[in-house]
Amino acid sequence: MSGHSKWSTIKRKKETTDQARATVFSKLSRVISIAITDGGGVADPAGNIKLKIAIERARSANMPKSNIDRAIEEAKGKKENLKEVVYEGFGPFGASLIIIVTTDNPNRAISTVKTTLEKSGGKLGSEHSAMYQFTKCAVVDLKKKVNENDVYAFADRAGGIDIESNEDSYYVYIPFEKMGYVSDYLNGLEYKSVDVFYLPKVHISLNSGESDKIDTIVEKLEELPEVDSVYTNHMLVYDK
C-alpha cells in the first residue's frame, strides 16, 4: 500500500526546472505588484501586510532579492489593472479544484481556464461550488531537524490548524491572517518556506492511476501564464 498526503501538493509546487522557475518568478512579481496596488501604493512591507506576505512567498520560492526589489520598484506609481481571481472547478473521481489566477482580463482568464479543464476531463464550477470544501490558510515548512516538541509549541502559538510531516519536513498549517507574523511565533526555529494554502476539509481517496489524472489536470492549469496556484482535495492515494 502506498500513499501521499497534503505535503505532496507542496512538494510538486517546489520541484521546478529553470524554465519553470522563471515562470514562477514572473507570477510572483505580479503578486507583489497587486499587493502594492491593493495596499494603496505602499511599497514598504512594514506598512503593507499583503506585500509582506507576497515577499515572504517570493523568498520561499528562492526568488533573488534583486528580482524582488525590481518587482517592487516597477510597481511603484503604476496603476495596475491586475486582479487576483479565484475560480472553482472539478476533476473526475469527485476531485474539487481551487484555481488562483492573476490577470488583467478576467474574461480571457476564465475562458482559458474553462477550456483547459474541459480538454483535460474536468469542468468549471460556479462561485462557492467547491470553496466550502477548503480552508484558506498558511503552511509553514519547518526543517525536520527541528525538535518535535518545538514544532508543536510553534503550532500552539500560531493557532495551528493541522500538522503533517515526511522524511524532510514538518508542515504546520496556521490561520491565513497570521501568515504575515510567522517570524513572531517561530522563536528562532529554522524554516524553509511560508506559503498560502487551501487546506481541504474533505479528502477523497484515489488509486494512483486516478490520482495521476488529477495531477495532469493540475499541471496543465499551472502551465497557464496567469494561473498562480492550483489546490485539490485528492490528498490520499491507496493502491490495492
SS3 of 144, please? coil
User: What is the Cα–Cα distance from 237 to 102, expressed in whole angstroms?
Assistant: 31
C-alpha 235: how far from chain center: 15
> What are the helix (H) ranges across the chain?
7-14, 18-38, 49-60, 65-75, 106-119, 148-157, 182-186, 208-222
pLDDT tens digit sequence for 153-181: 999 999 999 999 888 889 999 999 898 88
- Residue 240, pLDDT > 60, answer no
pLDDT tens digit sequence for 120-150: 999 999 999 999 999 999 999 998 888 999 9
pTM for the whole thing?
0.81
pLDDT at 19: 59
pLDDT at 224: 93
Query: Rounded mean pLDDT of 37-66?
Result: 86
pLDDT category, 52, cuts 50, 70, 90? Answer: confident
What are the angstrom distances between the C-alpha of 219 and each of 13, 74, 165, 184? 10, 29, 24, 34
Query: Rounded mean pLDDT of 195-209?
Result: 88
- Residue 8, pLDDT > 90, answer no
User: What is the Cα–Cα distance from 152 to 74, expressed in whole angstroms?
Assistant: 40
- Residue 65, pLDDT > 70, answer yes
pLDDT at 3: 32
- Residue 231, pLDDT > 50, answer yes
Task: Name the percent of the chain lying above pLDDT 70.
Answer: 88
CB atoms inside a 10 Å sphere around CB 132: 11
Q: What is the mean pLDDT of the chain?
A: 86
- Residue 1, pLDDT > 70, answer no
Q: Which residue segments constitute the domains of the chain, with CATH numbers given?
A: 7-75 (1.10.10.200)
Helix axes of 65-75 and 18-38: crossing angle, nearest 10 degrees: 40
User: What is the Cα–Cα distance from 63 to 61, expressed in whole angstroms?
Assistant: 5
pLDDT at 239: 54
